Structure 1
Amino acid sequence: MTPTATYRLQLQPGFPFRAAERAVPYLASLGVSHLHLSPVLESVPGSTHGYDVVDHARVREELGGEDGLRRLARTARAAGLGLVLDIVPNHMAAAPRHNRQLWEVLRKGPDSPYATWFDIDWTANGGKVLLPVLAGPVGDELDRLAVDAEKGVLTYGEAHEFPLRAGTEGLPLPELLDAQWYRLGWWRLARTELNYRRFFTISDLIGVRVEDEDVFAATHAKVLELVRDGVVDGLRVDHPDGLADPETYLRRLNEATGGAWTVVEKILARTEPLPSDWAVAGTTGYDALHRIDGLFVDPAGHRELLRHYREFIGQDGDRGGHWEPTARRAAYEVVTHDLAAEVDRLTRAAARLCARTPDLRDHAPWALRLALCELLVRMPVYRPYRTGAEEVLTPEMAREAREAFGVPEEAAAVDAVRGLLLGRHGARKADDDGGEGVELHTFQARFAQTSSALRAKSLEDTAFYRFVALLSANEVGGEPGRPVVPPEEFHAYCARIARDWPATGTVLSTHDTKRSADVRARIAVLSECPERWRALLGRLATAPAPDPQLAWAAWQTAVGLGGTGPAADRLGGALLKAAREAGLHTTWTEQDPVYERALTDFAVSGPGGALAAQIAEFSRSLASATRANVLGAALVQLTMPGVPDVYQGTESECLTLVDPDNRRPVDFPETGTHSLPDEKGELSRAALRLRRELPEVFGEFSTYEALFADGPAADHCLAFCRSGDVVTAVTRLSLRLGASGGWGPTGLALPEGAWVDVLRTGASKDSGRHDRPDRPGREFTGTVKLSDLFADHPVALLRRVDRPGVREGSAGPV
C-alpha cells in the first residue's frame, strides 16, 4: 500500500516504542497514513540514531524489543496507521564486543564463516584487519592492553574487547599482538592503512557485502519477517550508493518484500535522473527539498548578497568566496587525505588489471593513482552505475583530468583508468566468466563506492561549511552556487515526477538536514533584502569573531532562529561543528584550542548574548516575508507529486540546527483533539487530512497541471492543480513583491469549477471535515485577483466543490 503521507520518528533510548505508542492518537489526527521509524534493529548500546547496527536478527531491546515493536504496530493499525521502517544495508558497527559476526572474523580470519560478510581487503596489511582504535602509537599504549586468557579476549581500556586467535593466549604481549588476524593501530592510521570499506570516513562503521546472496538473506531475514507478518508496510533504504550493486540489491529486496513501497536515500545532482531500472518507488526526497527551497530565493538579491559576502570575508577563489573552486579544493583534500586508503586500494586493483592487459602494462602505480584522483574529483554526480556510465565518465571529463595531470607524458593513465571503468582496452568485461571479469567488475564497483563517499564528504561535510553565502542553500542535494529554482523549472520537475515516480518521497526537514525547514525559510528572506542584511552586519561588528566567515554564518544562523531560538550553548555547538567540518582553522582531528575558545566566546557574547536583541528586532521586521516562506514551502511539499514525509515536530514551527540538535525527542500531545499551536500546524493538518480523504487526487494515478498567473506580479505566485480537484497557490519573494507595489491587477485563472479555500473554512476537530466557508464570498470561480486570494493569507489550498458526488462544503465525496 502506498502511503498518503509519512511521519518520521527518531527512536532512541529516550524515545522508545512506548513513547511512539503514546503519540499515535495525535499523529492519526494529524492526517498521515504511516509512521516512519528510524532503524529498529539491535545497535550499539546507547546509540541515539540506530545506524550502527550490530545484530540484524533482533529488534533493539533498548527500544522495547520485538514485542514492543509489534505492540506499536497493533496500536498504530487500530488508529488507521501503518509503519515504514528505515533499514541500513550498507554497514554495521565495527564494534567487536557487540558485533558477533565481526568478532568471529577477527578470531578466525578469512576462514571464518562470516568472512564474506565484510568488505575486507585481505591482501593488504599482511592479511590482517587494521583496527584503528588506539589513542596513540601501539608502543605508547601497551600498558592499557591486557589479556584474559580464561575468556580468550584482549582488552584495551574499558571500552574495547577483542577475540584471541586459538592457541595464542599464553604468548607474551608483543608476540600475541603479532599473532592475531587483526592489527590494533593508532586511530590516525585509518586515513592511509585501513583495509576495510567503511561508511564515508567513519571507521566505526564497517561495510557489509549484501551483494552476496547469503549475506543478504542473513541481514534481511528479520526485516522481511516483519514485512510478511504485516508489522511493516514499507521501507526506507539508507545510503544505497555505498553498495557494490544498488540495482541488483533493490531488485532482490523488491522481490523479497513482494513489492512493498520502498524509497531510497539517493542524492541526485540537479539534472540527474533516478535510474529507471531501480525497483523502488523513488527517493527519500532531497531532490524535492532543493527545488522547493529554491523557489524562495530571489535571483537578483542573491547576486547582490554574493558580492557583499565576498567583500565581508575578504576571501576569493577556493577558500569560500566562489562555489566551484571551493568544492574542487575540498574534493582534492578529501581524496588525497581522508580517503587515501580507499584510493590506494583502487590503485592496487587498477595496477593488477593493467598488468594483465598488453596495451596498459607500462602505467606506473603513482600515475594510475593520480589519474584516479583527477577523475574522482571531477565526478558530476555521486557515483556512476552499471548502465549510463559513459554519460558520467565523459570524454570532456577525461580531457580536463589529463590537462590537470602533473606530468603530461604520463597523462595517458587517465585514459587507461577510464577505459577500465567503461570495460574497454581489451580487458574482459565485468559480466564475463572467470576471475579477471570479476576483478574488473569489483574495481568498477569500488570506484563508484569511493566516488559517493568523496562527494558526500567533500560537499556535504566540507564545502557546505566553507561557502556560506546563503546558508539556506547548503543542504544535502542542494547547489549552493546556484540556489535559485525558477517556477518553470519547478513545474517541469513536478511534471516529470508525476509521470515517472508518482510515489516518490518528498521532504523539507530530516534527521540529516543542517537546518530545519523553518530556519532555512527565514534565512532565504535575506536574498530579498541584501542591503538590509549588510547594514545589520555593520551594527553587529562590535562582537569580535575569530574570522569573518564564521561571523557571517553565525549571524545568518541567528537570523534563522529569529533571535529567540536555542540558548547560546546550542548555537555554539552548531558553530563549533561547522568550523571543524570546514577544516579551515580547526578540525575534528587537529583541533585548535585557541580558535575554538574564541569561537565559543563569540557565540556567547554575540548571537547568544547582548546582540541577540538586535537579531530579534531585525527578524520581526521580516516577519511577514518569513511567514510567506514558511507556509509556502510547507504547503508546496504537502501537495506536490510524491509522498510527503513530515519530520518529527516540523508540522508546526520548528527551529532546530544540525544534529544532535534536530534529533532530540519531541513531546507529543496526549490526545489528538487539541488545536495545533500555530498557523503552520493548522495548515499541515488541513493539507494532510485532504490527502488522506482524497487519495485519488494526490496518489499514483493523479495528474499535475502548472498554473500561471497573469499580470505585473505574476512571478510572485506559484500555483498548480492536482487532478482537477485541488489547487495550491503560494506567494514567493513577498518582500520584493511588497517593495514593488503588491499584487495590483495580477490574477490567476482557475480551472473550471467552483472553489473554496480549505485553509479558511471551519473544521470539525473530531472528523476533520471542512464545513462551509466561515466568511461569505470565499468561493472562487474563473480568474481570481491575487490581492483577493491572498488578502489575509500568503497561501491558498483550494478545493473544487461542484464535482458530481461532492457536496459543497464537505471535504470528500458524498
Structure 2
Amino acid sequence: MTLERPDPVAPAAPTATYRLQLQPEFPFGAAEAAVPYLASLGVSHLHLSPVLEAVPGSGHGYDVVDHARVRAELGGEAGLRSLSRAAREHGLGLVMDIVPNHMAMAPRHNRALWEVLREGPGSPYAHWFDIDWQAQDGRVLLPVLGGPLGEETDALVVDGDVLRYHDHEFPLRAGTEDLPLPGLLDAQWYRLAWWRLARTELNYRRFFSISELIGVRVEDPEVFAATHAKILELLDDGVVDGLRIDHPDGLADPDAYLRRLHEATGGRWTVVEKILADGEPLPAAWPVAGTTGYDALRHVDGLFTDPAGAGELLGQYRRFAAPQADRGGVWEATVRRAAYKVVHHELAAEVERLTREADRLCRTSDDPALRDRAPWALRTALRELLVRMEVYRPYASQDAASVVTEAAADEARQAFKVPEEAHTVDLVRDLVLGRAGDGPGHEAFRARFAQTSSALRAKSVEDTAFYRYVPLLSATEVGGEPGSPAVSPEVFHAYCARVQRDWPLSGTVLSTHDTKRSADVRAAVSVLTQAPSRWADLLAEVTARTAAEGVGAPDPQVAWASWQTAVGLGPADGERLGGALLKHVREAGLATAWTEQDPAYEDAVAAFLEAGPCGAPGRLVAEFRSSLEPYVRSNVLGAALVHLTMPGVPDLYQGTESEYRALVDPDNRRPAPFPPKDPGGLSAEKAALTTAALRLRRRRPAVFGEAAAYAPLPALGPGAAHCLAFTRSGEVITAVTRLSLRLEEEGGWRDTVLPLPAGRWADLLTPGREFTGHARVDTLFGRLPVVLLERVPEGAAAGT
C-alpha cells in the first residue's frame, strides 16, 4: 500500500532551528508564549520534541502510545495548531521530531498493543509489533513482575475482563475471566514474568535494552500508513514544515522507510538521528537533508581540544585511576570489552532470537552446506561478528561486506578451537551478506542482524564505554571519538567542505536533549587539555583534602570523573552532580548497575561527592575554574560562532543562546525560562553573538544555503595555528581563537595577521569597526576572542 499524497510546493529549508523540549511542565501554550522572543533571535523554525500521544507524565515524549492523536497533556491538536499560527505570525515554521521505531509497552494506554495482548497473533494489530510468536510457546513475554510469579500471585487481581497488577492493567482473552488464576494466566496470549527474565527470554524487539519500548514494524506499508497519517496531515495542513527522524537505525530497512517517507511528504526537509563513526559517510541513497548533527558536534569540539595535552591527560588518568587495559585504560579495548558485556547480558535475548532464526534457515535450507550447524556455534559466531562491528549497522543500499568485513570474520574464527567449527563464522557472514540463500526468511535475518548490531553499538559505546573510559569527559559525547578527541583545522576544513558539497542542508548541533554534557560544560572541560599539569596539581590537592575529611572515593575512576564534572559544571550543585554521577557509575557497570545495584557502593559515591566536590575541597575547584575563565570563554564563544556559521543548518537547544551548563538527562531536559533572565558576563556575550549570527543567516540565506560556498581563510604569523577562519560565499568571514591558553603561553598573537579578501569588512559583533587587507589578529580579537565580518557593499558609506 502506497500513500498517495499531493505534490505541494515544499516550504523552504530552515536557516536555523531552535529545539524546544515539550513536556507537561512546558506545553504548547508555554511554547506559544515564547514565540515573540524566539523569533527575535533570528531562527527560522522551532524544532519540537515528539508531539503525539505518549505515556501520561512522560518528560520526553518518545514513549508514544497513539499515533493518531496529538498529546493531550501538551494542549492537544488545538494547542499545536495555535502554536503553529502564532509561529507563522512571527515568521517562524515548525519542525517536528517523530518516532517511527518504537511505541510504549504500556497496554493500558496503547490501544493497538492492548488488542494484540487480548487477541494474540490473530489481532488486526499483530503485524504492527515485532514479536516472535514462535518463541515463548506463542505468547508475548511481559517482564513486569517485581519477583518470580509464585511470589507475586497475591498482587494479581481479576477485575471483569481486566487483569491488574499494581498500576499495570492487561486485557483478558475472551472467555478466560472465570478460570482459576493458574489456568487464567496460562490461557492468555501473554506471559507475565519477573522483570529479570527480560534479559534472556524476551521475544519482542525493543529500543536498545529498554523493555518498556516495543519495536514497531513500519516496514509494513499498512503500519507505516497508520502510524504516519497524523504526521502527514499536519504537514499537508501547513502546521509543520519538516521532520527529525528519531533512531532510524532501529528500523528493519531504513533505506526503504526513508524513500517511502520522502514520497509521502513531498520531499519536505528531513534530517535523521544517524550516529556516524569517524570516517563513515551518510548513505548517499537516503533522500534526506542529512543528519541531526552529531558529526558536526565532534568536529567542532575537537577544534578546541589540544592533542598533546589530551595525551598528557591520558597518561595522568592511567597513573591516577590505574584502570585495566580492557576496562578504561585503552579506548579500543574498552569498547570491545563493553561490547562483549552487552552482547552476553543486556542483549542476550536479541542474540537468542538471531540464533533461532539462523538455526531455522540452516535446518530448512536446500543447501547441504548449511545443515548440521549447532545452535551454540551459530550463537558464538553471531556474537563474535557483532562485537567487531565498527559502525552501527549495514544498509540495503550499501555493500554489507565493507561493514561485516573479512578481517572481522578472521578474528571471529579465533573464538573456535576446532577449525571445522570455525567455518560457522563464514556461514553466518554469508547469511548476513546475502550469499547463502535468499527469500523472506533470509531477508528478515539480515534486517534483524543489522537492528541488533545497531542496538549493540549504541549500548556498548555510548552507554557503557563512554562511562568507563574517562580521561577527557568532553570527548565522551554522542558521535564522539574519545580515542582521538582532537581535530586539526585541516581536518575540520575538509569536513566542512564535504558537508557543503554533499549535505549542505544537514543539521548541526552542539547541545541536545541527549548530550551527556552541554556544549558549555564540555568547553570548560576541554580547557584541561591546555593545562594538564595544573589539573594534576588540583587533583592531588583535592584528593588529599577529601581524604583528610575521612571520606575517600570508592574508586579512583569515579573520583577522576567527579572532579572533571565539577570543573565543567562550575560551583557544584549536590543534587545535579549526584544525579549525573549516579547515572555514570550505573552505566559503566563496573561496580554497580541499573539491574544489579550495589547500595553500599552507591552510598559511598554519594558520601564522596558530599565531602569532596560538594564540600570544602570543592572551593578549590571553584577557584581553579575561575582561573581558567578567560580560556573557557574563548572556547564557549568560539564553538558557538563556528557552529552558527559553518555549513549546515544549526539547531540550538533550548537555553543555549546564553551560557548553558547542563549534565546528562534528566538535568538537560528541565524547562527553560523564556525570555531568559537578564544575562550578564559570558551569557550576555554569547547571547549577542548568537543573535547576530542567526539574524545574519536569516537576512542572507543564500550566503549559507544549499548553493553557498565554504573556503578556509588561513592566518599568517607566529600565532596562525590558533586562528581558525573561513569564508562563506565570499561575503562573510568567521574567525575564532582556538587553544587560547597555549597561545598565551607562546607569547600571544604578536605579528599574526589574517589576510582578508578584497573589500571592506564590517564587524557584526562590535558595530562601527571595519577592516581591510591584512588585519592584525590581535586587533580583530581586541574585545572578543571571535569576530564575525560581513562584506560592505561597494559604495556604502563608512560605518553602514
Q: TM-score range by the shorter chain?
A: over 0.9
In structure 2, stretches of 5+ residues that fail to align are 1-11, 547-551
Preserved contact between residue 569 and residue 604 of structure 1 (Cα < 8 Å): no
> Which AA in structure 1 matches 2:427?
A
Report whether the alignment pairs 1:89 with 2:80: no
**CA–CA distance in structure 2, aligned partners of residues 803 and 407 of structure 1:** 78
Q: Which residue of 2 aligns with 1:686?
A: 692
Q: Which runs of 4+ in 1 moved over 3 A?
A: 404-409, 670-677, 806-810
The equivalences for 1:9-20 within 5 A come to 9-20=20-31
Query: Out of 644, 657, 660, which is 2:663 matched to?
Result: 657
Query: 5 Å matches for 1:574-723?
Result: 574-669=580-675, 677-723=683-729
Report the count of equivalent residues. Answer: 780
Distance in structure 1 (CA, Å) of the matches to 2:688 and 2:754: 25
Partners of 2:757 and 2:401 in 1: how far apart? 44
Q: Which moved more, 1:545-554 or 1:405-414?
A: 405-414
Does structure 2 conserve the Cα–Cα contact (< 8 Å) formed by 1:487 and 1:718? yes
What secondary structure sits across from 2:328 in the alignment? coil
Matched, 1:161 2:156: no
**CA distance in structure 1 between the partners assigned to 2:679 and 2:44 by the alignment:** 17
**C-alpha distance after superposition, 1:225-264 (max 9, x if no partner):** 0000000000000000000011111111111111111000
For 1:521 and 1:675, the matched residues in 2 are separated by: 16
Give runs of aligned pairs for residues 465-476 of structure 1, distance below 5 A.
465-476=467-478
Give, as a single letter, the amino acid of the residue that structure 2 aligns with 1:365: P
Matched, 1:401 2:434: no
Aligned partners of 2:597, 2:508: CA distance in 1, in Å?
A: 37
Q: Identify the range of structure 1 (586-595 vs 640-649) with the bigger mean alpha-carbon deviation.
A: 586-595
Match of 2:328 in 1: 320
Q: CA deviation at 1:376?
A: 0.5
The aligned counterpart of 2:383 is 373
Is 1:309 the counterpart of 2:300? The answer is no
SS of residue matched to 1:571: helix
SS in 1 for 2:765: helix
Matched, 1:438 2:448: no
Q: Distance in 2 between matches of 1:662 and 1:408?
A: 51
Give me the whole-angstrom Cα distance separating, in 1, the residues matched to 2:592 and 2:637: 38
Deviations 1:387-409 (A, max 9, x none): 22121112111111112435444
Paired with 1:449 and 1:682, the residues of 2 have a C-alpha distance of 44
1:671 shift after superposition:
11
- The change in CA–CA distance for 1:672 and 1:532 in structure 2 (over 3 A counts) is closer
Between the aligned partners of 1:162 and 1:463, the Cα distance in structure 2 is 37
Distance 2:677 2:696 in 1: 21
Structure 1 321/676 Cα, relative in aligned 2: closer, same or farther at 3 Å?
Answer: closer
> Does the CA-based 8 Å contact 1:550-1:579 persist in structure 2?
yes
Q: Structure 1 residues 167 and 807, CA, compared in 2 at 3 Å: closer, same or farther?
A: farther
Find the residue that maps to 2:126 and give its secondary structure.
coil
Which has the larger displacement, 450-459 or 402-411?
402-411
Deviations 1:761-803 (A, max 9, x none): 1xxxxxxxxxxx0xxxx32112222122112211111111035
Distance 1:670 1:587 in 2: 37
Structure 1 Cα separation of the partners of residues 680 and 40 of structure 2 = 10
SS in 1 for 2:708: coil
Q: Deviations 1:647-692 (Å, cap 9, x if unpaired)? A: 0001100111000000000111299999995111111111111100
Name the counterpart of 1:760. Answer: 766
CA distance in 2 between counterparts of 1:338 and 1:45 reads 27
The answer to whether the 8 A contact 2:770-2:799 is kept is: no
> Secondary structure of 1:7's partner?
strand
Which residue identity lines up with residue 389 of structure 2 in the other structure?
M
Instruction: Output the CA distance in 1 between the equivalents of 2:37 and 2:617.
Output: 38
User: 1:58-94 CA distances to partner (integer Å, 9 max, x unpaired)?
Assistant: 0000000000000000001000000000000000000
CA distance in 2: counterparts of 1:169 and 1:324, whole angstroms: 55
Q: 2:470 matched to 1:450?
A: no
The residue aligned with 2:339 is 331
Match of 1:768 in 2: none
TM-score in terms of structure 2 length: 0.96
Q: Determine the structure 1 residue equivalent to 2:519.
A: 517
Normalized against structure 1, the TM-score is what?
A: 0.94
Alignment of 1:205-224 (within 5 A): 205-224=213-232
Q: How many angstroms apart in 2 are the aligned matches of 1:664 and 1:672?
A: 19
Answer yes or no: is 1:293 the counterpart of 2:317: no
8 Å CA contact retained: 2:655, 2:676? no
Partners of 1:803 and 1:514 lie apart in 2 by 47
The answer to which of 778-787 and 138-147 deviates more is 778-787
Q: Is the 8 A contact 1:44 1:52 kept in 2?
A: yes
Alpha-carbon distance in 2 for matches of 1:445, 1:353: 14
User: Secondary structure at 1:540's aligned position in 2?
Assistant: helix
Contact (CA 8 Å) 1:30, 1:672: kept in 2 or not? no
In structure 1, C-alpha distance between the alignment counterparts of 2:401 and 2:327, rounded to whole Å: 32
Asked whether 1:70 is paired with 2:61, we answer: no
Provide the rounded CA distance (Å) in 1 between the counterparts of 2:137 and 2:794.
74
Deviation at 1:362, TM superposition (A): 2.7
RMSD between superposed Cα atoms in Å: 1.5
Which of these residues, 148, 157, 179, is aligned with residue 137 of structure 1? 148
Q: Map 1:220-299; keep pairs closer than 5 Å.
A: 220-299=228-307
SS in 2 for 1:468: coil
Residue-by-residue CA offset, 1:496-544 (whole Å, 9 max, x unaligned): 0001100000000000000000000000000011110000001101222
CA contact (8 A) 1:129 1:195 kept: yes
1:572 aligned to which of 575, 578, 598: 578
Matched, 1:421 2:432: yes
Match of 1:189 among 191, 197, 212: 197
| Matching of residues 716-731 of structure 1 within 5 Å | 716-731=722-737
Whether the 8 Å contact between 1:26 and 1:673 is mirrored in structure 2 is no
Structure 2 residue aligned with 1:779, among 751, 765, 770? 770
Query: Contact conserved, 2:659 with 2:682, CA < 8 A, in 1?
Result: no
SS in 1 for 2:620: helix
Report the equivalent of 1:770.
none
How far 1:316 moved relative to its partner? 3.0
Alpha carbons 1:27, 1:672 under 8 Å: kept: no
Residue 546, structure 1, aligned to residue 554, structure 2: yes
Cα gap change, 1:231/1:621 in structure 2, threshold over 3 Å: closer, same or farther? same
**Cα distance in structure 2, aligned partners of 1:110 and 1:96:** 16
1:479 aligns with 2:470: no
Moved more, 361-370 or 32-41: 361-370
| Distance verdict in 2 for CA 1:337–1:407, change over 3 Å | farther
- Which amino acid in structure 2 is aligned with residue 104 of structure 1? E
1:789 alignment partner in structure 2: 780
Partner of 1:748: 754
Q: Distance in 1 between matches of 2:74 and 2:26?
A: 8
Tell whether the 8 Å contact from 2:658 to 2:679 is kept in structure 1 after alignment: no
CA deviations 1:577-629 (Å, max 9, x no partner) are: 10000011111111111111111111112111212211111011111111110
Q: Does the aligned pair in 2 maintain the 1:743–1:787 contact within 8 Å?
A: yes
Q: Taking structure 1 as reference, are residues 456 and 803 closer, same or farther at Cα in structure 2, changes over 3 Å only?
A: farther
3-state SS in 1 of match to 2:30: helix
Instruction: Using the TM superposition, give the Cα deviation of residue 807 of structure 1 relative to its aligned residue in structure 2, in angstroms.
Output: 6.7
1:106 to 2:125 alignment: no
Does residue 504 in structure 1 map to residue 515 in structure 2?
no
2:686 maps to a residue whose letter is K
Unpaired segments ≥5 residues, structure 1: 429-436, 762-772
When structure 1 is superposed on structure 2, of 597-606 and 116-125 the one drifting more is 597-606
Give the residue type in structure 1 aligned to 2:591: H
Give the stretch that moved more between structures: 52-61 or 361-370: 361-370
Once residues 393 and 748 of structure 1 are traced to their aligned partners in structure 2, the CA distance between those partners, rounded to angstroms, is 47
Report the CA distance shift for 1:503/1:615 in structure 2 as closer, same or farther (over 3 A). Answer: same
Q: Does 1:61 align with 2:72?
A: yes
Question: Share of identical aligned residues, percent?
Answer: 69
